[in-house]
Copies of this chain bind each other. A is one copy, B any other.
């Protein structure tokens, strides 16, 4: 039996492109074997409320009808062919209202109408997942027979049993096979599994475990796409119980074809389900002593760069953006974003125009300009300097004349940041370009940014990386991309340059102290008391906690943040703004 893994790249709801992909791919009539597509291939994922919107439902039903017609009448194959693909199956009441919506696996065969053959049983509903909001869980074991082979079927979360779930589809599959006295020749899992750093290894380990338990090769086809902040990394693979037999590319479409491999063991008698559950990783890691925040390895830096570039390019592609305007400050964060854009441009995925704007104020050092200038010259990006001093003066004067008081302190700091926000957006309006946000996770966590100022942007590139990780990533880029960023940009002390001799260290603990505290609070859910017990400085811990809690209102108005870590700000992080400071 030939196995074909279709790691396709399509936009949510682009039914025309999907139909074209299928009819083109299967027009030649010699596509023998089993073809596997990702979870919700037919719709895209995540869909959120689109699932319930009439426009979407009507268009999708029409697409399914076209597909079924094509499969039953036009789809011809000389040899035995079967397609397994993810999609939604709607049931409607007499008024046309959907009563049941399932996340299913469709079977498409030449000469037959398409039909759902398995419905996802475990619906993830934690962190960024909300599938129980929209879908009804299936209740039947997934078994499919093709060319005398028995194939076990799973959809994404089905392979990840945890104590948060009511049932274990893998155990259920095992029981079913034993009861029917069958042996499984292959396990297929179709996924739309959001990316985070380190997740691929977890997937492979779990696939190997299930493979050994069911004594069958395990085939995993994953979605590839960036949907606003959520990335799907692809990296589809097949394991034979011992090794990864094939592995698809990450962060891009790919297609793999291979003969069904033999299971070559070893066999195991049980599954270590609790250790592998997403639920454990996400929702309840309250007192774990595992890794808090380690330096990024080179391979991780390379992976993060690929991830961020896909995040930027997919968002751009879908929203028809080809131009970018970056506000360069002479600091590390904005420089890193510009460096990433330059790397993306050099990869020639899509045509791109990049421009940088430097907006010096009263407190900007000449070094900031010189470094920005050197950097842009290095990488061949046009830099425009647009001073804000005169406008800032005009605002100070106007304010004093009207309110009879000097604009000072925080007001005078923030107005510079907001003025830059307004100006960069004026340029964006004029140039029809996208503004990328350059804040990092440390700043976003403690609210060390000006709302409507440096926090502006359509998409946040670095918002899931702590400042210390931004530092490591910038160094990695310099090591591997010809010292692209002037080293002094990376080594100089961080400063917002909004008042005389300002440095981040005046307002915040040093980042090498701050970042582990934040990570322990956010990802591990440690309380301040836990951290103080572990030996962290009490005043620092309490200050960081207070800053974190009090800056919730800023995060509520923040742009989508490309997700890199298991625990990120955004959809998977929901906290009320108003609450008693705990």
List residues of chain A with CB under 8 Å of any chain B CB. 11-15, 44, 46-50, 52-59, 95-99, 125-126, 130, 132-133, 163, 227-228, 283-287, 314-315, 318-319, 384-388, 390-391, 394-395, 398-399, 402-403, 405, 407-412, 414-415, 418-419, 421-423, 425-427, 429-430, 451-452, 456, 458, 525-530, 545, 553, 556-560, 573-580, 582
User: Which residues from chain B contact A427 at a C-beta distance below 8 Å?
Assistant: 399, 403, 411
**Bound form: Cα–Cα A526–B52 in Å:** 10
A286-B97 in contact (CB<8A):
yes
B429-A95 in contact (CB<8A):
no
User: Which residues from chain B contact A526 at a C-beta distance below 8 Å?
Assistant: 54
User: Which residues from chain B contact A57 at a C-beta distance below 8 Å?
Assistant: 286
Identify which of A55, A314, A451 gathers the most chain B CB atoms within 10 Å of its CB.
Answer: A55
Interface residue from B56, B96, B387, B579 paired with A12 (Cβ < 8 Å): B579
**Bound form: Cα–Cα A228–B557 in Å:** 13
Cβ contacts A to B, 8 pairs, < 8 Å: A55-B545, A95-B286, A125-B130, A132-B133, A384-B403, A390-B398, A411-B429, A556-B559
**Bound form: Cα–Cα A49–B285 in Å:** 13
User: Which residues from chain B contact A430 at a C-beta distance below 8 Å?
Assistant: 403, 405, 407-409, 411
Given contacts A54-B527, A414-B426, A422-B418, A577 and B319 within 8 Å (CB-CB): yes
**Bound form: Cα–Cα A307–B524 in Å:** 38
B574-A49 in contact (CB<8A):
yes
Given contacts A398-B390, A414-B426, A426-B407, A50 and B579 within 8 Å (CB-CB): yes
Chain B proximity of A393: nearest CB distance (Å):
9
B429-A422 in contact (CB<8A):
no
B577-A560 in contact (CB<8A):
yes
Known: A54-B527, A130-B133, A410-B429. 16 other contacts (CB 8 A): A48-B575, A48-B576, A49-B574, A52-B284, A58-B529, A95-B287, A99-B284, A125-B132, A228-B576, A228-B577, A228-B578, A319-B577, A391-B395, A394-B394, A414-B426, A458-B553
A14 and chain B: residue at smallest CB distance? B580
Given contacts A125-B132, A422-B419, A430-B407, A97 and B578 within 8 Å (CB-CB): no
Chain B proximity of A467: nearest CB distance (Å):
23
B50-A576 in contact (CB<8A):
yes
A422-B452 in contact (CB<8A):
yes
Identify which of A286, A410, A456 gathers the most chain B CB atoms within 10 Å of its CB.
Answer: A286
User: Which residues from chain B contact A130 at a C-beta distance below 8 Å?
Assistant: 125, 130, 133, 574
B405-A398 in contact (CB<8A):
no
A124 and chain B: residue at smallest CB distance? B133
**Bound form: Cα–Cα A419–B412 in Å:** 14
Given contacts A97-B287, A418-B425, A579-B12, A398 and B402 within 8 Å (CB-CB): no
A414 and chain B: residue at smallest CB distance? B429
User: Which residues from chain B contact A315 at a C-beta distance below 8 Å?
Assistant: 578
B54-A579 in contact (CB<8A):
no
A574 and chain B: residue at smallest CB distance? B48
Q: Which 4 A-B pairs have the closest CB atoms?
A: A411-B429, A418-B422, A318-B578, A55-B527
A452 and chain B: residue at smallest CB distance? B452
Chain B proximity of A282: nearest CB distance (Å):
9
**Bound form: Cα–Cα A575–B411 in Å:** 35
**Bound form: Cα–Cα A48–B576 in Å:** 7
User: Which residues from chain B contact A387 at a C-beta distance below 8 Å?
Assistant: 398
User: Which residues from chain B contact A407 at a C-beta distance below 8 Å?
Assistant: 426, 430
**Bound form: Cα–Cα A227–B403 in Å:** 34
Interface residue from B95, B126, B391 paired with A391 (Cβ < 8 Å): B391
B385-A402 in contact (CB<8A):
yes
User: Which residues from chain B contact A405 at a C-beta distance below 8 Å?
Assistant: 430
User: Which residues from chain B contact A529 at a C-beta distance below 8 Å?
Assistant: 55, 58
A415 and chain B: residue at smallest CB distance? B426
Chain B proximity of A171: nearest CB distance (Å):
19
**Bound form: Cα–Cα A560–B578 in Å:** 11
Chain B proximity of A133: nearest CB distance (Å):
5
Interface residue from B52, B56, B386, B528 paired with A398 (Cβ < 8 Å): B386
B580-A49 in contact (CB<8A):
no
Chain B proximity of A71: nearest CB distance (Å):
22
A402-B418 in contact (CB<8A):
no
Interface residue from B421, B558, B580 paired with A452 (Cβ < 8 Å): B421
A525-B53 in contact (CB<8A):
yes
A54-B556 in contact (CB<8A):
no
Interface residue from B56, B126, B421, B578 paired with A582 (Cβ < 8 Å): B56
**Bound form: Cα–Cα A163–B97 in Å:** 11
User: Which residues from chain B contact A99 at a C-beta distance below 8 Å?
Assistant: 163, 284
Given contacts A12-B580, A407-B426, A423-B395, A49 and B575 within 8 Å (CB-CB): yes
User: Which residues from chain B contact A418 at a C-beta distance below 8 Å?
Assistant: 418, 421-422, 425-426, 452
Chain B proximity of A125: nearest CB distance (Å):
5
Given contacts A579-B318, A580-B11, A582-B56, A394 and B390 within 8 Å (CB-CB): yes
A283 and chain B: residue at smallest CB distance? B52
**Bound form: Cα–Cα A130–B127 in Å:** 11
Chain B proximity of A112: nearest CB distance (Å):
28
**Bound form: Cα–Cα A230–B285 in Å:** 29
